[in-house]
Amino acid sequence: MLKKLLIFSFILLTPLFVRAQNTMVKVSYDQLFRDGVELLDKEKYAAARHAFEKYVGQGINDLKTIDAEYYIAFSALNLFNPDAEPLYKQFILKYPYHAKASLAHFDLATFYYNGKKYEKAIQYFEKVNHENLNEEQQLDANFKLAYSYLNVKAFDKAAPLFNKIKGGKHKYTYAASYYAGYLEFRNGEYDAALADLKKAEENESYKPLVPYMIVNIYYKKGELDQLIAYAGSVTSSKQDIQNADEFYLLTGEAYFRKEDYQKAEENFSKYIRTAKVKANPEIQYRLSYSQFKNGQYEDAAENFKGLAIGNDSISQASAYYLGVSYLQTGKKDFAVTAFNQARKSNLNKDIQKEALFNYGKVNFDLERYTEAIPALKEFLKNYPTSTHIPEATEILSESLLKTKDYSDAISYIEGLKSRSLRINATYQIVTFLKGTELLNNNNFQEAINMFNKSLEYPINKDYVIYANFWKGEALSYLKDYNAAINAYAAVFTNSKDDNEYYLKSRYGIGYAYYNTKQFDKALTHFRAYVDKVKGEKNKQNYNDALLRLADLYYVTKQYEQAIKYYDEAVADKSSDIDYAYYQRGLVKMNLGEVLDAKANFEAVIKRYPNSLYYDDALFQKGQLELQTGENNDAVKAYSALIGIKPGSPYAPYAYSRRAIAYFNLKDYEKAIRDYQYILDNLPTHEESQNALKGIQEALAAAGREEEFPAILAKFKEYNPDNKESASLTVLEFENAKALYNNQKYPQAIQSFLTFINGNPNNPNVKEAQYYMAESYFRQNELPSAIEYYKKVTESRASSYYNKAIQRLADLSLLNKDYQSAKNYYQILLAQASSKKDKSIANVGLVVSYYNTQKYDSALYYTSEILKQGNSTLDAESKAMLYQGKIAMAKGENDKAVDYFIQTINAAKDVNAAEAQYLIAKIQYNDKKYKQSLETLYDLNNNFSIYDDWLGRSFLLIAENFVALNELFQAKATLKSIIEKSPHKETVEKAKVRLSELESKEKETEKIEKGQEGKSNE
């Protein structure tokens, strides 16, 4: 363009060069000038300069010489010769008033303008005399000076020039209008800017540049409708738009403020696609909210997730709408985490209120009542005028009904000033449930109190029946059988005979009458129970009732009927078949059928060596042999009992009866030895009197009468007739026991120790040692406890032998000394005199064998537990749990899950909590993350009282979220653990995991930014 402008200047002056010459020399001289002009016209500036320099060199000082000097400078300028500017300056200095002096300034200014050296261009444009320029040159000079001012940010100088030339129709019309509009926009002169920019927009060159500024002006003026209309026309034309990202952003903002969220979302999305930088949180929030309002809940949730973790108002709002979005997509378990996040912030009170309500409500829907209740209570307290109050009250009522924290529910309801029928109905149920909880924890009197509270509101007839039945059970445990009879009778009054609790009450009241020796009434109820259950598939308690019915016929001397039902129990292969054989033997004894009696006792001895009635059968067999004069066989039976079951309550009698058999066999030394054992080891036992008489006779028969006085003296020492010294010893021992019973363990230990040291041969020494061991145990001084438990076990005759063995077994298990634990539990099992001891031993053996990877042995003992039933509170569920754990250890996960489900169904105890956790763990390992989450949520709802498993559950919930790439949910879960868990170990694990996730997130962001930078390059 520069070249054309300079040539144009030249053309204007060509009339000066075409004058005729008259002489030959002049013609030649003129030809040289003309050649230079022709070369200029052809842009051959080097040749032209040479021609003009040659012309000037002739020394003719005419007007053409001045022109030639100008053209020399002009050529040098176009050749970028370093002397161009000096030549122009020299020309201007030499001919300051010549017309070409202004043209020289113009040429230099234009040259520097084209080279974008705007400071230099301004210097020369400001010296141009516009009067010496033609109209087009003046237009060029004004526009280029204005543009130069614009580029050096001299806006106040640029604006008047652009405004001066923007009118009319010329080559700078649109450019001047654009720049004038830009400067007006910059100065906040929006109306003027709008007019100029719209003018510029008519030109294709400026059409892409204008839209961004026009929408910006409309936005700043608040003319959103005009903005939207204009933006629509631009986008519909599909034209190119400079600064398209800002154009879409402002358009999106306009639609957003007009609540046209469909169009807002379109434009915000376009902005994010075209912008070279990541959208800031405010823009990201508007996009997410627009998607939310458009019902695009999944997209909205995805975008809200990135905004919801934080402490500002955008984070709070994002967390709330994230929660609502999750609700709309059916992800309630995710929604509850988002609402929890939103309710913690008080920056926006309305959002906080709505989030709190929804947090409580969604927890209720998810049956997480322990979370719903405190949230709903807080809502009712803080927002008593909210429109949600009726619904919140109703939900809270339902939550209280279903929560496992019955004490809190009862306390809350009892604290209400007024209670509706529905609340009282809730109270009836929740007090009943609390009663059953107390009953399961052996707090029988408190359970009865709760059942009575439930019965004060007989609204739900089913719960009237339940409460009366379990009240009867609790009273039976307390041996208040007459009151229990009344409770069971109330079940009959309120139910029909096909009701399961009617039948259960038959069984319960039968026992109550049985224990009060009202055998005729007991017999009626047990017979009714047996007759009803006999044909049923579920024969719960049938075998036991069958045996009690047989027992009742036995005690009422209806022997034929007794035999009939014992026979039925044997035929049914009852779990208590050993008892049936034993009792049938007793009946046969009473009928004088000695051989049959002996056969039944032998059935127990030979077939059921682990039977609780093994020692009973041995003893009774010995009695039969003794009665029939079979003294040698009697000795064998009693010896077997003493050898196998030395701790049996029959042992003292077995020694005594064996002594009689020996005496009958005239083996007086052995008779004396057995009697002496009783007198030395069991001097206060009731059989010691018979032993004293027996030893007197045996000594006499052996001719050793002189030994008896010493034996008698020792006997009297142990059995004094209120001698003061003996009384003081008894008082000393009883005082030590009182200290123990009052939990004053250090003082008890000292008292027992004084007693033992002062009375080393006292028959109560073993008992004192046991209580010393217990005192150390309760103070967690386990090595000392173990020392004294071992002292107790030095004598199998001690009545505390089994208890001490159990403690030693349990402590070995606690110390992970599984081999010792196995040995002790085996002894306990062999010496068990009750179903409870047997069950404890079996459970201990299961745990010991499991922890030493002896899975087959562990399985054997789980089956033994299940055969025996719940002799201890959680034996069956423990057995099922370990069956599942063993299957899991073997990699048989499907089988493991089946066992774990059985555990959960058996009882809602700590074993069930662990079982549910392990199911979730299996699902997690199998990458069934959603199923695992559902299982864990059920655990949290059903087993919230077990802090350990609750903590593990939440940690695994977080891991499931990580696996699902739901980092917001994972982090929120871990933060919740840190804020709320009482379990220190769990809190520490949550802190470590949260830190790992945050570090990983930062690392990912770094990588993404790096990749984004490379992409932009």
Same-domain check for residues 918 and 1012:
yes
Indicate whether 578 belongs to any domain. yes
Q: Coil, helix or strand for 346?
A: coil
The region of weakest confidence among 58-62, 701-705, 746-750, 880-884 is 58-62
pLDDT score for 19: 38
pLDDT at 12: 36
pLDDT at 184: 92
Three-state SS at 275 = coil
End-of-domain residue from the set 95, 113, 138: 95
Closest CA to 884 of 897, 874, 865: 897
Secondary-structure breakdown of the chain: helix, strand, coil percentages, each rounded to the nearest 5? 75, 0, 25
DSSP 814-880: HTT-HHHHHHHHHHHHHH--SHHHHHHHHHHHHHHHHHTT-HHHHHHHHHHHHHH--SSTTHHHHHH
Residue type, 100: K
Angle, CA 510 vertex, CA 508 and CA 514 arms, to 5°: 120
Question: Per residue in 319-359, pLDDT tens?
Answer: 999 999 999 999 998 999 999 999 999 999 999 999 999 99
Residue type, 177: S
Domain count, the chain: 6
Q: Give buried/exposed letters for 206-230 (b at 16+ CB in 10 A, else e).
A: bbbbbbbbbbbbbbeeebbebbbeb
pLDDT in the model for residue 85 = 81
Model pLDDT, residue 79: 84
Helix, strand or coil, per DSSP, at residue 899: helix
DSSP state letters, 623-648: HHHHHTT-HHHHHHHHHHHHHH-TTS
Distance CA 337, CA 314 (A): 17
CA dihedral 727, 732, 736, 739 (to 10 degrees): 90
Ranges 18-32, 105-119, 373-387: which has the least confidence: 18-32
Among candidate residues 232, 255, 275, the one where a domain is terminated: 275
For residue 618, what are the domain limits?
613-717
Within this chain, do residues 979 and 1001 fall inside the same structural domain, yes or no?
yes
Q: Look at residue 762 and tell me if it is in a domain.
A: no
Looking at the structure, do residues 1015 and 912 belong to the same domain, yes or no? yes
What's at 752, amino acid-wise? F
- How far is Cα 518 from Cα 510, in angstroms, rounded to an integer? 9
Query: For the residues of 800-813, what is the DSSP string, one character each?
Result: THHHHHHHHHHHHH
Q: What is the CATH number of the domain that holds 917?
A: 1.25.40.10
Scanning the structure block, which residue is given the tokens 């696609």? Answer: 273
**pLDDT tens figures, 911-935:** 988 999 999 999 999 999 989 988 9
Grouping H, G, I as helix, E, B as strand and the rest as coil, residue 386 is: coil
Whole-angstrom distance, CA of residue 264 vs CA of residue 349: 27
551/506 same-domain check? no
Can you read off the two tokens belonging to residue 596? 């049959």
pLDDT for the residue numbered 1012:
52
149-200 pLDDT, tens digit per residue, is: 999 999 999 999 999 998 888 999 999 999 999 999 999 999 999 999 999 8
How much is the pLDDT for 1014?
A: 52
Share of the chain above pLDDT 90, in %: 47
> First-to-last CA distance in the chain?
33
Would you say residue 513 lies in a domain? Answer: yes
Map tokens 């000097």 to a residue: 69
Provide the percentage of residues in the chain whose pLDDT is more than 70: 94
Q: For 482-508, what is each residue's pLDDT tens digit?
A: 999 999 999 999 988 888 899 899 999
pLDDT over 80 at 269, yes or no: yes
Question: Is the pTM higher than 0.95?
Answer: no
The Cα–Cα gap between 106 and 136 comes to: 12
Please check the confidence at residue 945 and state whether its pLDDT lies above 80: no
DSSP label at residue 345 = -
Dist. CA 997–CA 1017, nearest whole Å: 30
Spell out a b/e string for 903-918, using b for 16 or more CB atoms within 10 Å of the CB, else e. bbebbbbbbbbbbbbb
HSE toward the beta carbon, residue 767, CA cutoff 13 A: 13
DSSP classification of residue 131: G
* 318 assigned to some structural domain: no
Handedness of CA 249, 254, 259, 262 (dihedral sign): negative
Together in a domain, 572 and 513: no
Residue pLDDT, tens place only, 212-245: 999 999 999 999 999 999 999 999 888 889 889 9
Residue 117 lies in a domain: no
Q: Give the separation between CA 402 and CA 366, rounded to whole angstroms.
A: 12
Report residue 159: phi and psi, to 5°.
Answer: -55, -50
pLDDT at 78 over 60: yes
* Same domain, residue pair 600 and 618: no
Same domain, 483 and 573: no
Helix residue ranges, H only, 202-312: 210-221, 224-236, 244-257, 261-274, 281-293, 297-308
Residue 420 confidence (pLDDT) above 60 = yes
Does residue 247 form part of some domain?
yes
Q: Are residues 924 and 979 in the same domain?
A: yes
- Token code pair at residue 193: 């800017």
| Angstrom distance (rounded) from CA 684 to CA 716 | 10
Alpha carbon distance 547, 303 (integer Å): 70
Question: Are both 685 and 587 inside the same structural domain?
Answer: no
d(CA 66, CA 72): 10
Domain boundary among 658, 684, 717: 717
Cα distances (Å, whole numbers) of residue 546 to 477, 550, 561, 572: 21, 6, 11, 10
Contact 150, 121 (CB under 8 A): no
Q: Based on the fold, state whether residues 925 and 1012 are members of the same structural domain.
A: yes
Residues 570 and 586 in one domain: yes
* In a shared domain, residues 514 and 465: yes
Q: Is residue 505 part of a domain?
A: yes
Residue 1002 burial (C-beta neighbours within 10 Å; 0-12, 13-18, 19+): exposed
618 in a structural domain: yes
